[in-house]
Amino acid sequence: MDDTTIIGMVSIIVSGLTIAIGSLGPAFAEGRALAQGLQSIAQQPDESNSISRTLFVGMALIESVAIYCFVVAMILIFFNPFWDHVVAQAGG
């Protein structure tokens, strides 16, 4: 196996782990936030608009973590900085 093959395999494995682990945390956090938001609305129905608005902002912030993990995985697969280094070392 040459260096390019090893870097390709490691990039794919690490990007898969990034997506797998990086989506578990936000999934659990969104579930917990939704449960707490619904419980708060059930206890104080008059404040449902305020609670819902705050809940949606919080959900967007939680979801951004999963999006960042997705972006890192795409960078590892398609724009890996190690590829250029290996190609430069092989050519030079």
Q: What is the CATH number of the domain that holds 14?
A: 1.20.20.10
What's the pLDDT at 92? 56
How many domains would you assign to the chain? 1
The answer to whether residue 92 sits within a structural domain is no
What's the pLDDT at 59? 93
Q: What is the pLDDT along the chain (92 residues), one digit of tens a residue?
A: 777 788 888 888 999 999 999 999 999 999 999 999 999 999 999 999 999 999 999 999 999 999 999 999 998 888 887 777 777 777 75
Helices (H) and strands (E) in the chain, counts: 3, 0
Rounded to two decimals, the pTM is 0.74
What's the pLDDT at 36? 95
CA-closest candidate to residue 78, choices 23, 21, 5, 15: 15
The answer to whether residue 57 sits within a structural domain is yes
The answer to whether residue 89 sits within a structural domain is no
Domain that holds residue 7: 3-83
